[in-house]
């Protein structure tokens, strides 16, 4: 399979986009303000909100309850469903519930279960029963990962090829808004009300997603659905792994953001330990950093038009590693809101750019016939560093010290960069056959 030719086809489709000409500005405005785009935004919000409820917010709660750093780091293992969601993605593709249609039926059931599990997590006690906390957090991540699967499939089926780029962008922005509310808003609220009420409020914030599921139309199915589980499970995998260099691509997806992800896994305890209040963290790290990420992703998209995906992956990957090293500087300086703002701005800006190139690369190698399962496989691998590699980060931070920990995370990014030599060399703008 020639990844370069696949990428060229994607570029050609963009060049043939009937909405791209200046004479079609009215059509562009109509698409931007269409109901489909609102659905993409709201579904993105519903998918982004649960993610940090089991990471940043839960870490802050556990730190406040005096839980050991090693245990806080190990709690990242409850995020395994994000890594393994490709295992049950074919099941959601194959079977249809007897109400609301193939996508919306599953989505409604999953969202209701997710609301219930978030409330349950809020009424656990990290100081007394860590196993109950872990179990409730696992239910949240399982339901959240399942929602991601269905929403990704819905978005691809609901939007035309011309609308998919804009719809995906709105989905990502909605996702980040949900993350902002859960982490930044949740931390600020936690300074004033108990965590149990914070989680209950977060569960209530999932209701717009439920309403969207009930009111949105079921997408028309344009391709034949799998006739049996064997076809749903194995055909997408056989198609992908029959390509030359498939393993190298998976290794790259696994390692490209591993250093950035490992550093992010322990930033919450790091901020608290060097003296920042939860309100300072919520205001600077979450609210201020949110806009830096938005700007970074937009800049990444613009730069990719000029440089191509290959060079973007190189440049943005280097900036990601450099931004991780800046946390070591913050560790040496200590409590300084201005330095924190500078580090967060650079880190979120570079992370947004890197993620834009990362997602564009994955989209370019996905076979549309098997989008749901193949995309679930690729995004599951994206989640491996967040779960498996993040688990020992508490141990490393405890034994290396914060400065040494962030330097180590910077060096760990090197293997992912070196894999680019295999299939994305600097001198070519399209991806080579590996």
Does residue 270 fall inside a structural domain?
A: yes
Q: Extract the tokens encoding 384.
A: 């491996």
Q: What is the pLDDT of residue 371?
A: 66
Whether residue 10 has pLDDT greater than 60: no
For residue 85, give its domain range: 3-17+32-423
Does residue 394 fall inside a structural domain?
A: yes
Whether residue 21 has pLDDT greater than 60: no
Q: Cα dihedral sign for 330, 332, 336, 338?
A: negative
Tally Cβ neighbours within 10 Å of residue 207.
12
Does residue 433 fall inside a structural domain?
A: no
Does residue 25 fall inside a structural domain?
A: no
Whether residue 140 has pLDDT greater than 90: yes
Q: What is the pLDDT of residue 314?
A: 86
Number of folded domains that form the chain:
1
pLDDT in tens, 379-427: 776 666 666 667 777 888 888 888 888 898 888 888 888 888 877 777 6
pLDDT in tens, 95-113: 888 888 888 899 999 999 9
Does residue 428 fall inside a structural domain?
A: no
pLDDT in tens, 304-347: 656 767 787 888 888 888 888 889 898 888 888 888 888 888 88
Span 216-224, mean pLDDT? 77
**Percentage of residues in the chain having pLDDT higher than 70:** 79
Q: Extract the tokens encoding 258.
A: 């591993």
For residue 248, what pLDDT band results from cuts at 50, 70 and 90? confident
Does residue 119 fall inside a structural domain?
A: yes
Does residue 362 fall inside a structural domain?
A: yes
Does residue 149 fall inside a structural domain?
A: yes
Q: Extract the tokens encoding 266.
A: 């322990």
Q: Which residue has the higher pLDDT, 227 or 193?
A: 193
Q: Is the separation of the CB atoms in 394 and 77 below 8 Å?
A: no
Burial class (CB in 10 A: 0-12, 13-18, 19+), 75: buried
Q: What is the pLDDT of residue 139?
A: 93
Assign residue 198 the CATH number of its domain: 1.20.1250.20
Whether residue 31 has pLDDT greater than 70: no
Q: Which residue bears the tokens 């649960």?
A: 50
């Amino acid at each position: 399979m020639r990844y370069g030719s696949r990428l060229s086809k994607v570029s050609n489709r963009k060049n043939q986009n009937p909405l791209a000409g200046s004479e079609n500005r009215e059509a562009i405005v109509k698409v931007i303000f269409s109901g489909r785009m609102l659905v993409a935004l709201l579904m993105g919000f519903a998918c982004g909100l649960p993610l940090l409820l089991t990471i940043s917010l839960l870490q802050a709660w556990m730190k406040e309850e005096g839980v050991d750093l090693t245990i806080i780091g190990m709690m990242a293992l409850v995020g395994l469903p994000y890594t393994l969601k490709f295992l049950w993605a074919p099941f959601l593709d194959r079977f249809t519930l007897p109400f609301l249609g193939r996508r919306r039926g599953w989505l409604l059931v999953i969202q209701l279960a997710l609301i219930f599990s978030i409330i349950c997590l809020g009424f656990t006690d990290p100081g007394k029963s860590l196993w109950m906390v872990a179990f409730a957090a696992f239910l949240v991540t399982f339901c959240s990962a399942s929602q991601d699967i269905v929403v990704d499939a819905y978005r691809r089926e609901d939007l035309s090829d011309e609308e998919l780029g804009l719809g995906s962008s709105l989905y990502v922005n909605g996702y980040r808004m949900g993350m902002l509310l859960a982490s930044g808003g949740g931390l600020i609220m936690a300074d004033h009300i108990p965590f149990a009420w914070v989680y209950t409020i977060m569960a209530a914030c999932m209701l717009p997603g439920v309403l969207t599921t009930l009111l949105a139309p079921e997408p028309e199915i344009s391709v034949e659905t799998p006739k049996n589980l064997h076809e749903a499970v194995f055909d997408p995998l056989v198609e992908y792994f029959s390509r030359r260099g498939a393993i190298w691509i998976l290794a790259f997806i696994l390692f490209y953001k591993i250093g950035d992800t490992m550093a992010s896994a322990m930033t919450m305890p790091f901020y608290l330990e060097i003296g920042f209040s939860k309100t300072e963290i919520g205001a600077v790290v979450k609210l201020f950093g949110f806009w830096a990420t938005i700007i970074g992703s937009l800049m990444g998209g613009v730069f990719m038009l000029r440089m191509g995906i290959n060079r973007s992956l190189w440049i943005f990957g280097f900036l990601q590693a450099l931004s991780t090293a800046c946390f070591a500087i913050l560790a040496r300086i200590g409590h300084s809101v201005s330095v924190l703002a500078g580090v967060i701005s650079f880190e979120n800006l570079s992370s947004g750019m890197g993620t834009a190139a990362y997602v564009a690369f994955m989209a370019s190698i996905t076979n549309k016939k098997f989008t749901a399962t193949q995309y679930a496989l690729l995004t599951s691998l994206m989640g491996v560093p967040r779960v498996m590699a993040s688990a020992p980060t508490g141990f490393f931070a405890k034994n290396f010290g914060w400065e040494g920990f962030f330097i180590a995370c910077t060096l760990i990014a090197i293997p992912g960069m070196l894999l680019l030599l295999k299939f994305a060399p600097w001198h070519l703008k399209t991806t080579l056959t590996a």
